[in-house]
A and B are shown apart, each in its own frame.
Chain A
Amino acid sequence: MFHWLEKNPFLFAVGVFIVIAFAGLIEIVPNFAEASRPVIGTKPYSTLELAGRQVYIKNSCNACHSQLIRPFKSETDRYGHYSLSGEYAYDRPFLWGSKRTGPDLHRVGNYRTTEWHENHMKDPKSIVPTTIMPGYPWMFTTNADIDTAYAEQLTVAQFFGVPYNKPVPMKDGSTTVVKMGKSIKEARELALEEAKKVAADMKDQDVKDAVARGEIPEIVALIAYLNSLK
């Protein structure tokens, strides 16, 4: 009956591959689909936060900082609740990192503030005298790329159905809406509006002036992103 298969070894190999791959798929895909669904309380990144995320990636923060809290008491005591896979639903790419030269940042928004980040990014040693983290002073003068962040937002909204402008359930039972501009002009305005809130808590006069002029320095976007990590 299957004699023809034995006579076609290549076809046979392809058939074997398909059968084994199918077995793998039905084991992996359902679990994966369940685990990658966003958990309640995870919301998409706003334009400014996404721009900050790109600053984070650009400066390779993930080379020294992980964003993955493992379920060990020593970690959860220090960083907060262990990470859940659904919390990364809107992360593209993931920034889990593989090495902790610095501390984990997955929930840094819970226990550090705008003021802290501002001074720490400018001169880490002034806050933590023994740190080996370098300063990032240029972030205070370079402007963040809001347009690319908006492009990314549009892309993920269109291709992956990321729920912008839609109610997202939060932990306390309420819902929140993360706004995405309808045009690039509106996106810039939204980002600036958010940047003003961050800059209000900052002290650097140059940054405040820049935001008042309608510019968004990288540091403002980065702090917005770090504060969103909860």
Chain B
Amino acid sequence: MNKLYVWGIIITAAMLGATYVTVGYQKGGLNGDIVNMLAIAGAVALVIITVFVVIKYVRQMQTDTATGELADESWDNIGEYKNPVPMGWAIMFLGTMIWGMWYFTVGYPVNAYSQIGEYNEEVAEKNAQFEKKYANIKGEELVNMGESVYLVECVACHGLNADGNNEIDAADLNKRISAKSVKHVIEHGSNNNLLYQGSMMPDRNGLLNMATGQVITDKEIDAVSQYVADGLQNQNSEGAQVFANVCASCHGADGKGIEQVAPNIATWDEKLIVNVLDYGKKGAIGTMPVMDRLNAKQKEAVAVYVMSLNKGE
């Protein structure tokens, strides 16, 4: 027997033994698990095939003699046989060329793919789905949508309970306005685009009390701030008097605002909230960023949600 086969058998046995030992000592090991067994079978097959393929070609190198018709050319006395190209190889060669042409012209043409194009398609498709699904959303569902948008976009500042956050001075959305804000607006005036156009509210030097004929005083500011923050409820207070004489001419007797003149300061309304989302806001309680990445339906939903928070009071 050729020495080569002996070595082949020795190496095969050694590698199989090593595989058996290695796997056997692993956690789980040779416990009959189907995946482990398949892996071992694969390893055994690999070892045997490798060893015998190597033996075949080493034998061939040792014993083979080349045959065939020599080509006419000779390069430094190195000749070349005129053997035909093997059929399988030729078929694969031509097949690859044909496949390559198909790939570049029909299958995946050069420049046919655009990442941004795919993104645009994805967005258009999702937006169309959204439009279709929520075209007629209203009532409870709209409030729920508003809450889910709130929990993603607004919660980072206004908090889980929408009661604002004193740390970062986000507004308490459970009520329309705080006394601090009213006071700040009276003292500094306001132009927060709450009514679309830049209609200015004058600062305290432009706010005349019609009853006294004087500019609004510190005491009156405190009183009216409290009155507005309490939701314009306490009609017998001094604040109510001040409100009627100073603020009502623009904000209306009930504080609900006047179209094109002054915003609603008694309750939240949808237009007001959407305007805050569109333009942002800067006042006594810090800066509210513009949230214009929400779509119209989402803004409406947030508005309805915020309004629903105030229903109970």
Interface residues of chain A, those whose CB is within 8 Å of chain B, are: 71-73, 76-78, 80, 82, 110-116, 118-120, 126-128, 201, 203
Interface residues of B, CB < 8 Å — how many? 22
A145 to chain B, nearest CB (A): 27
Indicate which residue in B119, B153, B287, B291 contacts A113 across the interface (CB closer than 8 Å). B287
Indicate which residue in B119, B167, B290 contacts A71 across the interface (CB closer than 8 Å). B119
Residues in B with CB closer than 8 Å to A112 are: 156, 289
A116 touches B122 (CB 8 A): no
Residues in B with CB closer than 8 Å to A110 are: 289-290
Indicate which residue in A72, A120, A201, A203 contacts B287 across the interface (CB closer than 8 Å). A201
A76–B120 CA distance with the chains assembled, in angstroms:
11
| Additional A-B contacts beyond A77-B293, A115-B286 (7; CB < 8 A) | A71-B119, A82-B119, A111-B289, A111-B293, A114-B287, A201-B286, A203-B169
Q: Which of B156, B167, B289 has the most CB of A within 10 A?
A: B167
A188–B293 CA distance with the chains assembled, in angstroms:
37
B289 touches A80 (CB 8 A): no
B160 to chain A, nearest CB (A): 8
Indicate which residue in B118, B167, B169, B287 contacts A126 across the interface (CB closer than 8 Å). B167
Interface residues of chain B, those whose CB is within 8 Å of chain A, are: 115-116, 118-119, 122-123, 126, 152-153, 156-157, 165, 167-169, 286-291, 293
Residues in A with CB closer than 8 Å to B126 are: 73
B115 touches A71 (CB 8 A): yes
B167 touches A111 (CB 8 A): no
B137 to chain A, nearest CB (A): 18
Indicate which residue in B119, B152, B169 contacts A115 across the interface (CB closer than 8 Å). B169
Q: Which of B116, B153, B156, B290 has the most CB of A within 10 A?
A: B156
A72 touches B122 (CB 8 A): yes
Residues in A with CB closer than 8 Å to B156 are: 112, 116, 127-128
Contacts A115-B168, A115-B169, A116-B168 given; does A71 touch B116 at CB 8 Å: yes
Residues in B with CB closer than 8 Å to A111 are: 153, 289, 291, 293
A14–B152 CA distance with the chains assembled, in angstroms:
58
A73–B169 CA distance with the chains assembled, in angstroms:
31
Indicate which residue in B118, B168, B289 contacts A119 across the interface (CB closer than 8 Å). B168
For A128, the closest partner residue in chain B by CB is: B156
Indicate which residue in B123, B153, B157, B293 contacts A116 across the interface (CB closer than 8 Å). B157
For A72, the closest partner residue in chain B by CB is: B119
Residues in B with CB closer than 8 Å to A127 are: 156-157, 165, 167-168
A-B contact number at CB 8 A: 54
B178 to chain A, nearest CB (A): 15
Q: Which of B286, B290, B291 has the most CB of A within 10 A?
A: B286
Q: Give 19 CB contacts A-B under 8 Å.
A: A72-B119, A72-B122, A73-B119, A73-B123, A76-B123, A77-B293, A110-B289, A110-B290, A111-B153, A111-B289, A111-B291, A112-B289, A113-B286, A113-B289, A115-B168, A115-B169, A116-B168, A119-B167, A127-B168
A120–B119 CA distance with the chains assembled, in angstroms:
33
Shortest Cβ-Cβ A-B pairs, 4 listed: A71-B119, A113-B287, A115-B286, A119-B167
A211 to chain B, nearest CB (A): 18
Residues in A with CB closer than 8 Å to B118 are: 71
A84 to chain B, nearest CB (A): 10
A116–B286 CA distance with the chains assembled, in angstroms:
9
A72–B122 CA distance with the chains assembled, in angstroms:
8
Residues in B with CB closer than 8 Å to A71 are: 115-116, 118-119
Residues in B with CB closer than 8 Å to A72 are: 119, 122
A203–B119 CA distance with the chains assembled, in angstroms:
42
A110–B289 CA distance with the chains assembled, in angstroms:
7
Residues in A with CB closer than 8 Å to B157 are: 113, 116, 127
A224 to chain B, nearest CB (A): 14
A80–B156 CA distance with the chains assembled, in angstroms:
16
A108 to chain B, nearest CB (A): 10
A80–B153 CA distance with the chains assembled, in angstroms:
12
A27 to chain B, nearest CB (A): 13
A77–B290 CA distance with the chains assembled, in angstroms:
14
Residues in B with CB closer than 8 Å to A118 are: 168
A80–B119 CA distance with the chains assembled, in angstroms:
13
A112–B123 CA distance with the chains assembled, in angstroms:
25
A118–B286 CA distance with the chains assembled, in angstroms:
12
Residues in A with CB closer than 8 Å to B115 are: 71
For A126, the closest partner residue in chain B by CB is: B167
For A110, the closest partner residue in chain B by CB is: B289
A80–B115 CA distance with the chains assembled, in angstroms:
17
A165 to chain B, nearest CB (A): 29
A203–B169 CA distance with the chains assembled, in angstroms:
10
For B285, the closest partner residue in chain A by CB is: A115
Q: Which of A71, A78, A118, A126 has the most CB of B within 10 A?
A: A71
